[in-house]
Structure 1
């Protein structure tokens, strides 16, 4: 135990370039941006359901699998 204490006492800690709370803030901003991107794509499949139905009818697709 004395050896571990002696080693830990001699370890020099590097100074961080910014305060520690800035790292949390950066992570929060990144996750918020990614959440906004995810939120912006909500209901995309249903936006063009009329176009998809018209295309399927025009090309004889069955059950949404292309019919080939």
Structure 2
């Protein structure tokens, strides 16, 4: 028996998986990633004074924002 036929046999016997669980898992992953992004909010503004002090000490001009 090949690996692919083993997988097909296992999925046939597993029964029907409700779509609700796929949505719930996707939502949980989305919320976890959102928490990670939320934890990094306003990081640049918290360190603006430190960046300005470094630029002044090393003779460079520190510009915030933009490319």
TM-score > 0.5 by shorter chain: yes
Quick one: higher RCO (CA 8 Å, sep 6+), 1 or 2?
2
- Offset from partner CA, 1:18-58 (integer Å, 9 cap, x none): 42211000000000011111111110001111110110100
With normalisation by structure 1, the TM-score equals 0.63
Please, which runs of 5 or more residues in structure 1 have no aligned partner?
1-12
With normalisation by structure 2, the TM-score equals 0.64
List structure 1 runs of 4+ shifted beyond 3 angstroms: 13-18
Q: Report if aligned partners of 1:56, 1:62 keep a CA contact under 8 Å in 2.
A: yes
The structure with the largest alpha-carbon Rg is: 1
Task: Name the count of aligned residue pairs.
Answer: 53
Aligned-residue CA RMSD in angstroms? 2.5
